[in-house]
Amino acid sequence: MTAPISFRSIYAIGKRELRSFFISPVAYIIITGFIFISSYFFTAYVSSTNQADLSGTVNNIAIVLFLILPFLTMKLLSEEKKSGTFELLQTSPVTPLDIVLGKYFSALLLYGLMLFFTAGFPIYLEIKADPYWPVIAVQYLGLFLTGSAIIGIGLAASAFTENQIVSGIIGFSISFGLLLISWLGTQTTGLVKAVIDELTIINHLDPFVNGVIAVKDIIYFLLWIVFSVFLSSKAVESQSWRS
């Protein structure tokens, strides 16, 4: 089963998925909710600090991502299993990796669109004051990577069940857990603390929020993405393992 990936298949699967997001109300509800909540945080932060700075808003948006992205990813593979369309994918000449990457990129693209709609925030700052754009770019990169990792985790969760609710709860629990363990890090010492601190997702976003790009943090997010995609494709492939 060592076939090269087919960009055409990935494109076809991703395009269909993206379309289905917009045919159902899911995409509209998620995008609207996201814009609404993040605008609220932006307004609150800017009006209270009176600074041409996005860092507070970025931190808040990151929390919103943990709550909202699992709704986007919970159906990715589980819905196909439930409705039987998985049988079509499985019997088509595509590899498990093609299927998984198509799904992943569709959700990633939708997330990119969500971030795009927040471009109004820095533009507003530019009109009213003089923000430092390189930092803003780094902050957006951090947000994008955080979201990419959460989407990966959600995708993997949806690969293991045909129940969307279960998939959503698992995806949410794991990614939110990676946020919550930061508290554990403050309660422990030594090696345990070091490991927990490294695992905590927000610790790797912080440098981006401060305008710093570190290879270590990029690798952290990439590892989650690669691991999730790998795990998902193995879950899909496991259907065709001899038992």
Partner 1 sequence: MVKVENLIKNYGTVPALKGISFNVKQGEIIGLLGPNGAGKTTTMRILSGFMPASSGTAEINGLEIHENPLAAKKMIGYLPENPPLYTEMRVKDYLVFTAELKGVERKKIPGRLDYVLESAGLKDRRNYIIGKLSKGYRQRVGIAMALINDPALMILDEPTIGLDPNQIIEIRSLIKNLAGSRTIILSTHILPEVSQTCQRVIIIAQGQIAAQDTHEGLQKLASGKTRIILKTQGRQNDACSLVMRIPGVNDAVIKNDYIEITADSGVTITPEIARILVNSAIDIIELKTEIATLEEIFHKITLEEKL
- Distances from the Cα of 150 to the Cαs of 88, 146, 162, in angstroms? 27, 6, 19
Among candidate residues 163, 80, 155, 173, the one with its CA nearest the CA of residue 110: 155
- Least CB distance from residue 232 to partner 1, whole Å? 18
- Pick the closer one to partner 1 by CB: 6 or 203: 6
- Least CB distance from residue 81 to partner 1, whole Å? 11
- Least CB distance from residue 93 to partner 1, whole Å? 4
- Least CB distance from residue 55 to partner 1, whole Å? 40
**Distance from C-alpha of 31 to C-alpha of 42, rounded to nearest angstrom:** 16
Interface residue list for partner 1 (CB under 8 A)? 1, 3, 6, 8-9, 11-13, 15-16, 19-20, 23-24, 83-95, 239-243
Q: 29: which 2 tokens?
A: 């509800």
- Least CB distance from residue 89 to partner 1, whole Å? 7
Is residue 142 exposed (0-12), middle (13-18) or buried (19+ Cβ within 10 Å)? buried
Is residue 121 exposed (0-12), middle (13-18) or buried (19+ Cβ within 10 Å)? buried
- Least CB distance from residue 41 to partner 1, whole Å? 33
Question: What is the residue whose two structure tokens read 């990676």?
Answer: 178
- According to DSSP, residue 239 is labeled G
Q: How many CB atoms lie within 10 A of CB 14?
A: 20
171 and 192 Cβ atoms separated by less than 8 Å: no
- Pick the closer one to partner 1 by CB: 43 or 83: 83
- Pick the closer one to partner 1 by CB: 87 or 126: 87
Backbone phi, psi, residue 188, to 5°: -120, 175
The set of residues, in sequence order, having a beta carbon less than 8 Å from that of 221 and lying 6+ positions away, is 145, 146, 148, 149, 204
Q: 196: which 2 tokens?
A: 């927990």
- Pick the closer one to partner 1 by CB: 102 or 142: 102
- Pick the closer one to partner 1 by CB: 93 or 190: 93
- Least CB distance from residue 13 to partner 1, whole Å? 7
- Pick the closer one to partner 1 by CB: 81 or 204: 81
23 and 75 Cβ atoms separated by less than 8 Å: no
- Pick the closer one to partner 1 by CB: 50 or 243: 243
